[in-house]
């Protein structure tokens, strides 16, 4: 089984192609342009380098959020388009799950953080168990200082939110706060592909008609015009 996975929840973003347990291609690009300008270029490049065609994909996988509202919409609309054009199924992977799986076999709990604006972060907490990460605290939008007060012992922090609020985290956790290096500080497209492949093998697909991004909270436009 071959799947094409897309990650557009952060500015970095990227594309990965996996065949069963083998990663065939992965492209990441951190440039100051929108995903709408570079996503299709990245997909085309990954397919050409892998010597594959979009019709050869057995499923399409998307990092469903939380994250950038615009990025999530672009990624999801792209995956839906591929699904409708090819008749292939869609798999969704929570972004923070993929973030945690970028740090497998972690000895300490992993706390990915994405900037949610308004002095909040999108976050969750994961612990590595026998067969992989277990989500100890589900996704939520919260002030980082309030969240980490309840975390006991050493914790690994990762993501743009952790970078942005590093001083706050250190003021609460001190030496128990562990920060990952920059090359591991993003949700990897390959991690999205890996988790997507596990779900595909179990037949865990989503209906492309009804899929919506996992926003966690409403956008500014929804808040402002929700009553109209």
Q: Cβ(133)–Cβ(101) under 8 Å?
A: yes
Nearest CA-CA partner of 197 in 23, 65, 16, 20: 20
> pLDDT category, 221, cuts 50, 70, 90?
very low
pLDDT, mean of residues 205-227: 72
What integer pLDDT is reported at residue 35 of this predicted model? 64
Q: What is the mean pLDDT of the chain?
A: 90
Residue 223 pLDDT exceeds 50: no
What integer pLDDT is reported at residue 225 of this predicted model? 41
> Which residues make Cβ contacts (< 8 Å) with residue 156, sequence separation at least 6?
103, 106, 108, 109, 110, 111, 178, 179, 180
- Convert the pLDDT of each residue in 60-111 to its tens digit: 999 999 998 988 999 999 999 999 999 999 999 999 999 999 899 999 999 9
Cα dihedral 160/165/170/171 (nearest 10): -170
What integer pLDDT is reported at residue 212 of this predicted model? 93
Q: Within its chain, how far is the Cα of 23 from the centroid?
A: 17
What integer pLDDT is reported at residue 34 of this predicted model? 63
pLDDT, mean of residues 175-199: 92
> pLDDT category, 218, cuts 50, 70, 90?
low
- Convert the pLDDT of each residue in 130-155 to its tens digit: 889 999 999 999 999 999 998 999 99
């Amino acid at each position: 089984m071959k799947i094409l996975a897309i990650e557009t929840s952060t500015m970095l973003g990227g594309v990965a192609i996996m065949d069963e347990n083998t990663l065939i291609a992965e492209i990441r690009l951190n440039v100051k342009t929108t995903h709408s300008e570079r996503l299709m270029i990245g997909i085309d490049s990954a397919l050409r380098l892998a010597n594959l065609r979009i019709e050869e994909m057995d499923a399409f996988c998307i990092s469903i959020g939380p994250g950038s509202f615009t990025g999530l919409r672009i990624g999801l609309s792209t995956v839906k388009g591929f699904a409708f054009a090819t008749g292939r199924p869609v798999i969704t992977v929570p972004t923070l799950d993929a973030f945690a799986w970028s740090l497998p076999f972690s000895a300490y709990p992993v706390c990915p953080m994405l900037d949610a604006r308004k002095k909040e972060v999108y976050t969750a907490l994961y612990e590595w168990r026998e067969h992989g990460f277990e989500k100890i605290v589900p996704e939520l939008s919260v002030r980082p200082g309030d969240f980490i007060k309840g975390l006991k012992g050493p914790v690994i922090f990762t993501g743009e939110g952790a970078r942005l609020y590093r001083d706050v985290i250190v003021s609460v956790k001190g030496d128990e706060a562990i920060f990952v290096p920059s090359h591991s500080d993003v949700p990897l497209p390959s991690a999205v592909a890996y988790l997507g492949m596990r779900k595909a093998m179990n037949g865990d697909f989503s209906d492309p008609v009804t899929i919506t991004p996992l926003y966690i909270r409403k956008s500014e436009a929804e808040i402002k015009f929700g009553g109209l």
